[in-house]
Amino acid sequence: MTIVLILVGVIGSGKSTLSKAIERHIPNWVRANQDDLKDRRSVEKLVKQSLSNGLNVIVDRTNIDMKQRSHWTRIAAEFGATTQSLSSRLMIREGHPTISDPIEAIKILNMFNKSRQPVCNLEPIQNALVVDETDALFQLYDAAADDFPPSALTDLLQRIASAPGPTLPPPPPQPKKAAKNIQKPGDKEKSKDIRGFFKPQQ
């Protein structure tokens, strides 16, 4: 059975480095990255083509909420693929090629944390693993080569495959913002006219 592995994490946290390493070292894996393909529809097309050819797919996007992840779980279900997720709690790496300004990095983190929805038990994901900087995988990261050893990647994929499904409850619904009472031109005058029809009884 094919696999759709959904990566979840902030921009610059190492998702692309990891997904490139898996595609490079582990047979039958394809990386689908929106930065390379420019839009989500192109990513969806590559995911479908890869699954049709019997290949596993890593969806390399931030995928920060249920709505974003639902695109990939739906496609996985359509092709009868197993859906897995790998959530990274890593912060933005120093020296990231697209985020060199520390102030910009803080802004991105704040925006991400406001919008982030952890993978929850309402999502049709069979295996969900969460990692952080203490994980053994990242201790084996080769910064000079910007790569991981194949054995570490194989171990990671095995850990994901043996992980349980998500257990977190869904996020609470966001309170609806009160609609602003926008007064149209002439509303004030109309209200004065209406009040004139109501006279106190003698």
- Token reading at 188: 């004030």
Look up residue 66 and give its two tokens.
Answer: 């249920």
pLDDT at residue number 105: 62
Domain presence at residue 184: no
The verdict on residue 187 lying in a domain is: no
| 201 within a domain of the structure (yes/no) | no
Q: What pLDDT is stored for residue 182 in this prediction?
A: 60
| Cα gap 126→123, rounded to integer Å | 9
Nearest to 18 by CA among 87, 109, 71, 113: 87
pLDDT tens digits for range 31-54 = 999 889 989 999 999 999 999 999
d(CA 140, CA 161): 20
Instruction: Give the structural domain span for 36.
Output: 3-162
For residue 116, the domain's CATH number is 3.40.50.300
Domain count, the chain: 1
Mean pLDDT for all residues in the chain? 83
Q: Is residue 75 part of a domain?
A: yes
CB 71 within 8 A of CB 41: no
Question: For the whole model, what pTM was predicted?
Answer: 0.79
Residues 67-123 have pLDDT tens digits of 999 999 999 999 999 999 999 866 545 555 455 565 666 676 677 767 788 999 999
**Residue 6: strand pairing partners:** 59, 85
Q: Which residue has the higher pLDDT, 174 or 170?
A: 170
- Least Cα distance to 6 among 142, 149, 154, 118 occurs for 118
User: Which of 67-81, 136-150, 173-187 is predicted most confidently?
Assistant: 67-81
Would 33 be classed as within a structural domain?
Answer: yes
In a domain, 175, yes or no: no
Q: Is residue 176 part of a domain?
A: no
Distance CA 123, CA 67 (A): 10
Residue 195 lies in a domain: no
